[in-house]
């Protein structure tokens, strides 16, 4: 099978390969199609299960029960914990 991608999709796939996320364009396209196939194969029971898991979290968000953070916050917290462990072990 031969497929022609739009210029934008060709660049998207090329970037995935350049970044090292995939070894080749074939690998990238096969993976992305597998993801699409999996999404389309979700059964009503799968969707209901996901909703049951997400609804409590959404309710917490609606009540304002969440903590905002950035990636930098997480990195700083982990570095501080690592430094404390090293200091304790030294």
Tens of pLDDT, residue by residue over 26-78, are 999 999 999 999 889 988 899 899 999 999 999 999 999 998 999 999 999 99
At residue 90 the predicted structure's pLDDT band, cuts being 50, 70 and 90, is: low
Per DSSP, the residues of 28-79 read: HHHHHHHHHHHHHT--HHHHHHHHHHHHHHHHHHHTT------HHHHHHHHH
Q: How much of the chain is in helix, strand and coil states, percent to nearest 5?
A: 75, 0, 25
Q: 81 and 55: one domain?
A: yes
Give pTM, 2 decimals. 0.48
Q: 22 and 7: one domain?
A: yes
pLDDT tens digits, residue range 3-30? 999 999 999 999 999 999 999 999 999 9
Q: 51 and 88: one domain?
A: yes
Q: 81 and 64: one domain?
A: yes
Q: 84 and 51: one domain?
A: yes
Residue 54: its pLDDT value, please? 95
Total number of domains constituting the chain: 2
- Tell me which residue range forms the domain holding 85: 43-90
Q: 48 and 37: one domain?
A: no
């Amino acid at each position: 099978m031969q497929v022609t991608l739009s210029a934008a999709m060709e660049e998207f796939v090329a970037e995935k390969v350049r970044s090292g996320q995939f070894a080749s364009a074939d690998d990238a396209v096969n993976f992305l199609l597998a993801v699409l196939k999996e999404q389309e194969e979700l059964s009503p029971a799968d969707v209901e299960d996901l909703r049951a898991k997400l609804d409590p979290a959404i309710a917490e968000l609606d009540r304002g029960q969440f903590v905002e953070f950035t990636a930098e916050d997480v990195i700083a917290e982990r570095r501080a914990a690592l430094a404390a462990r090293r200091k304790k072990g030294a």
